[in-house]
Structure 1
Amino acid sequence: MQRALLILGPTASGKTAYAIDAAIEQNGEVINMDSMQVYSDLEILTARPSAAEMGEVPHHLFGHVDGAVAYSTGAWLAEAEAAIAEIQARGRKPILVGGTGLYAHALTRGLVPTPPVPPEVRASTRRLVGADPRAAHARLMQVDPKAACKIEPKDAVRIARALEVFEATGRPLSEWHQDPQPPILAEGTWEGVALMPERDVLYARIEARFQRMMEEGGLNEAHALYQRRLEPDLPVMKAVGMPGLIDFFEEQCGYEEAISRSILDSRHYAKRQMTWIRNRAADWKMISV
Structure 2
Amino acid sequence: MTSLVPTPTSTAAADLLDDLRALRQDVAALPALEPDSYARDHAAFELLSDQRGLIADHLAGRMTALGDGPVSVLSVGCGDGSLDVRLAEGLVRAVPGRPVRYVGIEPWSGSAALFTAEMAALEARELTVEVHVASFADAPVDEIFDVVVFVHSMYYVADVGDTLRAALDFLRPGGELWVLNAPRAALNELVDVLAPSLEDHRQWFSADVEDAFVDAGITTDVVVTLDALVDLASSSDEVLDFAVQARLTPELRGPVRAYLAAVSVPGRDGAPRVPHPVNVFSTTRV
- TM-score calculated relative to the size of structure 1: 0.32
TM-score, with length taken from structure 2: 0.32
Structure with higher helix content: 1
